[in-house]
Structure 1
Amino acid sequence: MVIPQQARPPQPPPERTAAEPGPQRPGPPALLDSLTGLRGLAAILVFCFHYSTFQMVFADGGGLEFASLHRPQWLTMSGNFAVGSFFILSGFVLALTTLPGTSMANFCAKRVGKLFPVYFVTSVLAIAAILLIGMPISTGNIVLHLTLLQSWVPFQDIYHGVNPVTWSLSTEAFFYLLFPLALFLVRRLGTRTLWWLLGTAVLLEFSLPLYVMHYFTVGDLPGHETFMSTGSKGGDLAYWFTLPFPPYRFLEFLVGMIACVLLTRGVLPRVRPGWAWTLCAVAYAIGTYTPGPLQRTAIGLVPLAVLVVALAQADLDGRPSLLRRKLFVELGKLSYGMYAIQLLVFLPTAPFLLRWLSSVLEVPETTLGGPLWKAGVMAAYFGLIILLAVPLYRYIEVPAYDYAKRLYRNRKGSELFAAPAEGQPS
């Protein structure tokens, strides 16, 4: 990812204070490949989580049904960290790359071009797969899914329906709606006020799960299919509120935006990536044994935000960063397609693959469920998903986004994206 000249953090002169950031000076563009690499690492984590959480088996009647899995406890945080990093990165990168002079039409076109083509293609594939294997699906569910509204409905068969992982894209679409006004306000707030806003967001991130754990029902919501038991996670409503509910997850996106603005003002302390990784490791360990509503978002918020800042600073300073390596950067580029297609690959095919392997190798299917066999099959599916994500990226995601970037570029820039006036924070 390239940081624009206008957004590159300046080197402040000695007399500048944190309360009075000086004018920014343009510099050569710098690659922030570590942020792309972080997406690649998150893609690995989220695949491990999904493969260990979602699985289908043959039902008594011969069809397929979702199996109840008991994944290792240490894997519970992998998906939470992955999605949390996606949301924080999204707010950080959008605040960084949305420059003064951008028209609202161009901004909207780019968001649609980035999000919807891959989403639409994988949604159609998901609907076709559901119909092919004979599982029930309602017209209302399809409509909610195609209009990116599924995360607003507190039923698992809706927000986990069609393509279970894409609840996060429904939530992300809400972020895009709020972003122009949020950016306008965040760019114009003083540095001290931004720190207060950041603290408030973190406080809400912790306090709202505590509230729903105490007051929301623990029982399952009647009349709707449950993909996974939520009793240990606070119940269906608490699970929905702290997993897909867009206004709550917006706090992570907002923290990413604030971190970006503070970084571009040059008022953040230098954070060594090693310390940031250590903080994330400690949070991961704590989160593994934390109640579900807190575990899903709150525990990882501050460590992941610190990590994003540390990686950005390392790239800008030219310091070493593990995530700038080609493997992570390339996975980061493919991460959206990998995320959207992975369940469509292994969910409907794994039962048939295991049955075929059992027949060919003449071993019971229970043997194939052992750790070594499972790791081998998991690695093979991961490689297959990468191969399938390449054409999604090259022939759908990139061309659609490149086309969208050219739309409405000559229109008048939106006032919401304008630079702060003279004397305001910048």
Structure 2
Amino acid sequence: MASPEQLTAESPPAGPKAPSLLDSLTGLRGLAAILVFCFHYTTFQMVFASGGGLEFAPLTRPMWLTMSGNFAVGSFFILSGFVLALTTRPGTSMANFCAKRVGKLFPVYFVTSVLAIAAIVLIGMPISATNIVLHLTLLQSWVPFQDIYHGVNPVTWSLSTEAFFYLLFPTALFLVHRLGTRALWWLLGAAVFLEFALPLYVMHYFTVAALPGHETFMSTGSRGGDLAYWFTLPFPPYRFLEFLVGMIGCVLLTRGALPRVRTCWAWSLCAVAYAIGTYTTGPLQRTSVGLVPLAVLVVALAQADMDGRPSLLRRKLFVELGKLSYGMYAIQLLVFLPTAPFLVRWLSSALGVSETTLGQPLWKACIMAGYFGLIVLLAVPLYRYVEVPAYDYAKRLYRDREPSPMFAAPVAAATAVLAPAATSTSVGGRSL
């Protein structure tokens, strides 16, 4: 899961005035937070083993929920590239940029990682020192074993991947800003082509069904095998294509090179892609199917906010969930994985119904809704007392350093269509 950006940037001159808040982009994170929770809750479940301990239950996720997690993570990555390109100021020093990225990503990650390690130890499941070190250093996505990149806190492979994006971002932004508009369109086409072509290549030439000697959480035999699954899920260079598409979309938008897109058409395109992806097998389902529709949606939502047009995702519910989405994402498995078996057993006894009955869709939906509410409540202190203070502190560091030429304003900025120089654009309701 990519982490929510809540940044502000000085906008380049020219063009019509944009509103100060691009709340629809924050709201999209809120919607993605709901989708990813539904995906995780129906994908990762634990039950009592015959020996009395806990073990992972077989996958029972409904087919129509298959794409929810894929769309959620894809939107996080595209949004991350779009928002960072939109909000990184020309006068930023490299030290300040790095401090802000660490301050945004690592504090919540560290707190939830420690909680995850403690939970694993308490429930008596094995954990290796190698796994802990790789996890705490954000390197787990580079190792093609499920017990590594899904180990400790299974969802945080996306944060390891996101850290790689941050590493490449200064160079990528420098190059993207200095390409002509036609070259950007060619680069965008190349990124989309690779997003589809690379999974097909990996599926054809790397068909290992399982990597021996390592535990698997997800069955990958029908999805191209473990290597194909790893390549198209956490592998940072491949997932960078989504981040890059978000960056290019932002730069094309600021140059006025994109047509106006009605949000209703963008939502319709996403709905069609969701339906197609539900019945698409293999690695294409996880990344490729949603790339273009989600990028179009991000652009359409940004345009709607800039024009002051109505947007469903500007509603307070979605915006507030968007602000909390990072904490919700990082903590959710730590809440329901170790507690759900005990809750189901207690409810069975208290209500006088069998555990099989509690596994029926209606009961499961009620329990799921209760957990969602609990996770939202737990994400509030993470946001207020960890994420916000850490980021506020980090963004004040090294502000007096020499501006980095990697963030220097390109000549093309003179044709941008965002707010005048006196206006700042914020995403998520907080400033840089």
TM-score, with length taken from structure 2: 0.93
Match of 2:191 among 182, 192, 201: 201
Counterpart Cα distance in 1 of 2:306 and 2:129 = 49
How far does residue 2 in structure 1 lie from its aligned partner after superposition?
Answer: 6.8
Counterpart Cα distance in 1 of 2:366 and 2:12 = 44
**Alignment partner, residue 23 of structure 1:** none
**Alignment partner, residue 326 of structure 1:** 316
Match of 2:295 among 293, 305, 312: 305
Kindly report structure 1 stretches of 4+ aligned residues shifted beyond 3 Å: 1-5, 421-426
Residue identity opposite 2:29 in structure 1? R
How far does residue 234 in structure 1 lie from its aligned partner after superposition?
Answer: 1.2
Structure 1 pair 327/154, CA: closer, same or farther in 2 (3 Å)?
A: same
In the TM superposition, what are the counterparts of 1:12-411 in structure 2 within 5 Å?
A: 27=17, 30-411=20-401
Structure 1 pair 50/423, CA: closer, same or farther in 2 (3 Å)?
A: closer
**Alignment partner, residue 21 of structure 1:** none
Question: Contact 2:19–2:305 at 8 Å: present in 1 too?
Answer: no
Counterpart Cα distance in 2 of 1:423 and 1:318 = 23
Structure 2 residues not aligned, in runs of 5+: 1-5, 417-432
TM-score, with length taken from structure 1: 0.94
Q: Deviation digits for residues 114-153 of structure 1, max 9, x if unmatched?
A: 0000000000000000000000000000000000000000
How far does residue 4 in structure 1 lie from its aligned partner after superposition?
Answer: 3.5
Counterpart Cα distance in 2 of 1:83 and 1:44 = 11
Q: Deviation digits for residues 46-68 of structure 1, max 9, x if unmatched?
A: 00000000000001110001111
How far does residue 385 in structure 1 lie from its aligned partner after superposition?
Answer: 0.1
Question: Contact 2:14–2:414 at 8 Å: present in 1 too?
Answer: no
How far does residue 419 in structure 1 lie from its aligned partner after superposition?
Answer: 1.2
Residue identity opposite 1:10 in structure 2? G
Greater shift in the superposed pair: 123-132 or 353-362 = 353-362
Calculate percent identity across the aligned residue pairs.
85
How far does residue 376 in structure 1 lie from its aligned partner after superposition?
Answer: 0.3
Counterpart Cα distance in 1 of 2:252 and 2:149 = 34
Local SS of the residue matching 2:55: strand
Question: Contact 1:2–1:30 at 8 Å: present in 2 too?
Answer: no
Match of 2:403 among 404, 413, 416: 413
Residue identity opposite 1:197 in structure 2? L
Structure 1 residues not aligned, in runs of 5+: 12-26
Structure 1 pair 39/228, CA: closer, same or farther in 2 (3 Å)?
A: same
Match of 2:11 among 6, 11, 17: 6
How far does residue 232 in structure 1 lie from its aligned partner after superposition?
Answer: 1.4
Structure 1 pair 423/403, CA: closer, same or farther in 2 (3 Å)?
A: closer
How far does residue 110 in structure 1 lie from its aligned partner after superposition?
Answer: 0.2
Counterpart Cα distance in 2 of 1:422 and 1:402 = 31
Local SS of the residue matching 1:412: coil
Q: CA RMSD in A?
A: 1.5
Counterpart Cα distance in 1 of 2:106 and 2:14 = 32
Q: Higher relative CO (CA 8 A, sep ≥ 6), structure 1 or 2?
A: 2
Local SS of the residue matching 1:271: coil
